[in-house]
Structure 1
Amino acid sequence: MSEANPGENMRAEIDEQPRIFAELLEATDIAAVASTIAQRKPRFALLAARGSSDHAALYAKYLIEVLLQLPAGLVSPSTTTLYGAQPDLSDVLLLTVSQSGGSPDLIEVTESARRRGATTVAITNTPDSALNAAAELSVHVRAGQELAVAATKTYSATLLALYLLVDAIRGGTGQAAAGLPDLARRALAESTAAVGEAVQRLRSTERLVTTARGYSLATALEAALKLAETSYLPARAYSGADLLHGPVAAIDPATAVLAVSGGGRGGAAMREVLDVVRERGADVRTLGSGPAAEHHIPVPGCAEELAPVLEILPVQQLALELALARGGDPDRPRGLSKVTRTR
């Protein structure tokens, strides 16, 4: 299908997301998993993931540390799979995030952690996957089959599932997310013109930096990945704080900067970053509901901890349209397949 109509699958899957959010908000299994976790009172949380799911895991790390006030860290799977590390994981919560549930290293990490005392939870779009079998508990993100190689609806659905899980662990009902389906429709509709303008400015760029603070850092990381894998555009992502600690020296008028600037504390912290990259002459574009540059892609406002669920939608549109403008087919990025099996 996408051979005749490049990007057709990716476009359709981007447009599905408001409906998927609505269905996920109606799910009841997440509360049951959260109840089990809350009863066990974990002392620490670990997150294991690869690729786009790793960015979702970073988002969950912020949720766990801020909303649950619980220490959290990202797992390096190779410490288990290559080096055979066997730390004591008693009273530890391990969330393994994988849309396919088929990556051998993540399965091995989950199996090993379960043997060593962790409460293991699989967050997947594939309920009959080997990862689900390896974990004690599981959350289905309910995105449906994804045909495009680049993850779109599975990524955003994973973000929402992780929010709902963390919110339920702290005793919440997900009420803050109730308006997301309508806000997602607005985000997709209201960003069209600004995305088109961004495509015209970025189609010939050769160097792109994405940056953000707080929860939105996950969006900056995912934006760099999406643009690299669909448009073959060299892109680097930095925390705004890390960017100012050295890499900003490489920013110049030949550099395009996509700054994710949401509301709340993260957005406020981006003001200094925007001032510095402007001073260095970069072609700066902001995305979000917070402080804006001259060239801006709008996103409807919402609670700061939910902003990444909406911010990623115009990023996906940008990746789709830029890939097409540069002569590619984002449904079939060169050298990539839907499931990457690493060990």
Structure 2
Amino acid sequence: MAADIAEQPDVLAGLLDHGAADIASVAARIAEYKPRSIVFTARGTSDHAALYAAYLTEIRLGIPTSLASPSVVTVYDSRPDWSDCLVIAVSQSGGSPDLSQVIAAARASGALTLAVTNNPASRLAGEAELQIDIRAGHERAVAATKTYTAELLTLLLLIEGIRTGTGRLEAAESAMLDKLPELASDVLDGSTSAELAGRYRFAERFVTTGRGYAYPTARETALKLMETSYLPSLAFSGADLLHGPLAMTDAGVPVLAVVGAGPGGHAMWNVLTQLGRQRADVVVVGAADLPGQTARLRTPAVDERMAAILDILPLQQLALHLAIGRGENPDAPRGLKKVTETT
């Protein structure tokens, strides 16, 4: 897991250098198709990447977006009308049968289908009309790290390419993303996750929270903590946290709050105020010190879209160090394997 985490700056650079042209070609094809809506389908970590892409799609493209439940097709044998829609399956392995069945059903109903996967030879890639290789390379650990950030960047390039209508990014977007590998390296090198892991080694549970583009980061962090350290971890959007779950927070429940520099981060300020009234132990993930925080994992002040790729990095490291500190093996979580085949 440590090796996979450390490779992420190089994976991001490789995707920008060698994968951008292929993504632009697919984006141009989708822009020409003009889908009436976009539907994502995914499982596990990839579902969090799909949620990030759903925010991107509705905010940047203004196209209605949803996350499909594969069981509608595989368990209940229903066939929604996806004609004139774009259906995108996101999967690291491309090996889960249910996602392949959703793509097959969507294609049969008249949808344009796309597989975003780390395995271009997978069944999922074969079922879809279009496919994009996220180019993350072999991932050693069961817990996904570099494939997650590669999915995020792939989806960001795709959606921004659709937005221009040509598949090619605007100059400002391209310049912003060119800085990403170096920023990722700086975040990993400067992280204080190991020290925080020592502080929270004996925690019994965590709460993670964020809004907008940061909410998928909160969900992915909770998953990493559960699958590597077996720590019960509850993820909430900042808004949903205030609708009841706030009552369970106190000084004994660490809260990991992802607070960016844009509108989503600003929307978290009231959440932090309420957490302060609860005397919660709050770790802020972001670029600025904020009132009431116990500690901070520093990440740069960048556009919220790009921040989602950077903010998860020290949280991956935190999950790694917590697992080791608690005597667990993060490379071999009990009961799990790299490819989960759900139907």
What is the TM-score when the length of structure 2 is the normalising length? 0.95
Deviation at 1:165, TM superposition (A): 0.4
Deviation at 1:113, TM superposition (A): 0.4
Which residue number in structure 1 is paired with residue 337 of structure 2? 337
Q: Is contact 1:20–1:142 with CA below 8 Å preserved after alignment?
A: yes
Which residue number in structure 1 is paired with residue 276 of structure 2? 278
1:13 paired to 2:4: yes
Structure 1 residues 290 and 106: CA distance shift in structure 2, 3 A: farther
What is the CA deviation profile of residues 66-110 of structure 1, one whole-angstrom value per residue up to 9, with x for unaligned ones?
Answer: 011111000011011111111221110111000000001001001
**Aligned residue identity for 1:207:** R
Q: In structure 2, how many angstroms separate the alpha carbons of the residues matched to 1:289 and 1:161?
A: 24
Deviation at 1:196, TM superposition (A): 2.2
1:255 paired to 2:253: yes
Q: In structure 2, how many angstroms separate the alpha carbons of the residues matched to 1:131 and 1:290?
A: 42
Q: In structure 2, how many angstroms separate the alpha carbons of the residues matched to 1:207 and 1:311?
A: 21
Structure 2 residue aligned with 1:135, among 125, 128, 132?
128
Secondary structure, in 3 states, of the residue corresponding to 1:243? helix
Q: In structure 2, how many angstroms separate the alpha carbons of the residues matched to 1:55 and 1:100?
A: 15
Where in structure 2 are the equivalents of 1:108-119 lying within 5 Å?
108-119=101-112
Deviation at 1:294, TM superposition (A): 3.6
Q: In structure 1, how many angstroms separate the alpha carbons of the residues matched to 2:236 and 2:336?
A: 24
Q: In structure 1, how many angstroms separate the alpha carbons of the residues matched to 2:202 and 2:319?
A: 14
Q: In structure 2, how many angstroms separate the alpha carbons of the residues matched to 1:289 and 1:47?
A: 31
Q: Gaps spanning 5+ residues in structure 2: where?
A: none
Aligned length: 332
**Aligned residue identity for 1:153:** K
Q: Is contact 2:281–2:294 with CA below 8 Å preserved after alignment?
A: no
What is the TM-score when the length of structure 1 is the normalising length? 0.95
Deviation at 1:43, TM superposition (A): 0.7
Q: Is contact 1:254–1:283 with CA below 8 Å preserved after alignment?
A: yes
Q: Is contact 1:262–1:291 with CA below 8 Å preserved after alignment?
A: no
**Aligned residue identity for 1:38:** A
Q: In structure 2, how many angstroms separate the alpha carbons of the residues matched to 1:231 and 1:47?
A: 29
What is the CA deviation profile of residues 253-286 of structure 1, one whole-angstrom value per residue up to 9, with x for unaligned ones?
Answer: 2211010111100111111111111211221111
Which residue number in structure 2 is paired with residue 264 of structure 1? 262
What is the CA deviation profile of residues 116-159 of structure 1, one whole-angstrom value per residue up to 9, with x for unaligned ones?
Answer: 01110000000100000000001110000111000000000000
**Aligned residue identity for 2:205:** R
Q: Gaps spanning 5+ residues in structure 1: where?
A: 1-9
Q: Is contact 2:41–2:47 with CA below 8 Å preserved after alignment?
A: yes
Where in structure 2 are the equivalents of 1:230-241 lying within 5 Å?
230-241=228-239
Q: In structure 1, how many angstroms separate the alpha carbons of the residues matched to 2:101 and 2:221?
A: 29
Which residue number in structure 2 is paired with residue 3 of structure 1? none
Secondary structure, in 3 states, of the residue corresponding to 1:84? coil
Which residue number in structure 1 is paired with residue 23 of structure 2? 30
Deviation at 1:291, TM superposition (A): 5.5
Q: Is contact 2:197–2:322 with CA below 8 Å preserved after alignment?
A: yes
1:103 paired to 2:101: no
Secondary structure, in 3 states, of the residue corresponding to 1:170? helix
**Aligned residue identity for 1:329:** N
Deviation at 1:197, TM superposition (A): 2.4
Q: In structure 1, how many angstroms separate the alpha carbons of the residues matched to 2:311 and 2:108?
A: 38
Structure 2 residue aligned with 1:221, among 215, 219, 225?
219
**Aligned residue identity for 2:238:** G
1:56 paired to 2:49: yes
Q: In structure 2, how many angstroms separate the alpha carbons of the residues matched to 1:290 and 1:177?
A: 22
Q: In structure 1, how many angstroms separate the alpha carbons of the residues matched to 2:211 and 2:74?
A: 32
Q: In structure 2, how many angstroms separate the alpha carbons of the residues matched to 1:51 and 1:290?
A: 30
Where in structure 2 are the equivalents of 1:160-179 lying within 5 Å?
160-171=153-164, 172-173=168-169, 174-175=173-174, 176-179=176-179
Q: Is contact 1:212–1:259 with CA below 8 Å preserved after alignment?
A: yes
Q: Is contact 2:194–2:317 with CA below 8 Å preserved after alignment?
A: no
Secondary structure, in 3 states, of the residue corresponding to 1:105? helix
Q: Is contact 1:286–1:295 with CA below 8 Å preserved after alignment?
A: yes
Q: In structure 2, how many angstroms separate the alpha carbons of the residues matched to 1:215 and 1:97?
A: 17
Q: In structure 1, how many angstroms separate the alpha carbons of the residues matched to 2:286 and 2:123?
A: 37
Q: Is contact 1:267–1:290 with CA below 8 Å preserved after alignment?
A: no
